[in-house]
Structure 1
C-alpha cells in the first residue's frame, strides 16, 4: 500500500500542476483586452520602492490650549509607489479641457511645457478622473505621506519650533520669523519650466520646487491635554494639505460665487499637482504571466 502511494505522488503532483496551468491559461484567455492607447503621450512615472520613514504627521496640534508641533512617527510604506516624474503640464490639462472634462482656467499658462497652476482641488480630481477613463488605469492625488515618501531627501520638515512649556510668546514669534524668512529666501522667482529643479534620488523631478502640489489629505485638528494625551480630533475636507517647499493648508476653492462661502476665489498661481497611479491586478502578476496577457 505504501509503495503504491509513493509511486502515485509524482503523477498526482504532475496532474495538479497541469490543472493549475490550465486554469491559469483559461483566466488569461478570458481576461479583457487592454483598451487602445490614447492619442496623447502617457505620463512618465517612476517607482518609489517600499520604505520606512520618520515622518512628522500632518495636522494642527494643540496642547492645553497652546499650539504645538505635530509629532514625528515611524511610517511604513509597504508597497511600491508609482508617481508622475513631472507635474501635470498646461498642455496635459488643456487636453482635458478640450474633452469637456475639466474646467477652463482663469489664467492659463502661456506655454504648454509649463506646470499647470491656478488649479483647485476639484480641477485636479477632475483631471485624475478623466485620465483614468482615457487610460484604463486608476490615477489619483497622493496622500500627504505618499508625497513625503516620493519627495525623499527633498521633503522639508514643517516644524515651527513650538515649545508647549514655554510661557514667553516672543520665543514662538522669533521662531516663526526665522522660518518664514528662510522660506522667502528660498522662493525667489525661478523658471518653472518642467525639469528646472532637477530630480531627486527617486527620479521625481521638480518636487519641492516653487510649485506647490495638492494632496488628498484633509486638514486635521488634534487636541491634547497637558499630559500629551489626545482628547479630541476633528477633520475638515474643505481644506487640504498642499506640499512644496513646505507644508501648508489650502481651501479646495470653488469657482461659482453664487454658492458663497470662504472657498470662493481663484487658486494661487503657484499651485499645481502630480498624480499617483494605482497598481492593477495585472501589475501584481509575475512578469512571465503578464507577457501572456492580451495586449
Structure 2
C-alpha cells in the first residue's frame, strides 16, 4: 500500500527500518503487535485518523539550508536576470519547491530572491508541497535550531532571521516578510493530476525521486512538467537523473533543465 499509493519503494531490505519507525505509532496507540496496527490502519477510523500519521513516520525528510549551493548560484546568475527583464510588477515569478520538507529549501530560495530584488526589484511567490503534514507544520512555523542555521552566511542570518529569547536553547525564526512569500499545501506525487493553483516558472524537485523506482520517477517528472511554463527551469537533486526518460526537459547543466 505504501508503494502503490505513495510511490515510496518498500523492498524487504527496508523491513527493519519500517518496523522501527512504526513502533512509535504502536506505542502512541497502546497496540502490541503490527497485526493490530494494520487492522487499525485499514479500519474506517484508521483511514480517517491514522493513515496520515503513518505516512508521516514513513517518509524521510532530510534537508538543509543552501543544500547543493550551485543551484542557488544559478538562480542568482542566470534565472533571475533572464526572467525578470521587462516583467510586469503585478506578475510574480512563481517558484515551486516540490518536496519542501521542513522549509529550508523554499526559505533559501526566498533569501536568494530577496537579495537579487535589492538590485532589480521584482515580485515573487514560492509554493511548497510535501506528503507529510507534520513536516509542513514545521515549515509553516519556520523555527530552526542554531545548528540548522550554522551554514547560512552571517549577513543573511542577521537580515532574515529573528533570534529566540532562550539563550540555552538557541533558535532562529524566519522573518515575517519571507514567511509571507511561502504558501504550503500537502501533495501526494502519486495523484494522477496535481491540484496546484497555477503554473510555475521554476520547479525544484530535489532528492525526492530517489525514493521512487524509475517508472514512477518518469510519471512524476511529467506531471510536474505539466505545471512548468515553457522555457521554465527544473532542478533535480545531485543523485537524480532523467537519462532514458521520455520527459520534456533539455539539460542546461548537470541536474538543471529547461522545459521544452
- TM more than 0.5: no
Taking structure 1 as the reference length, the TM-score comes to: 0.23
Structure number with the bigger relative contact order (C-alpha 8 A, sep ≥ 6) is: 1
Greater Rg over alpha carbons, structure = 1
Please identify which structure carries the higher helix content: 2
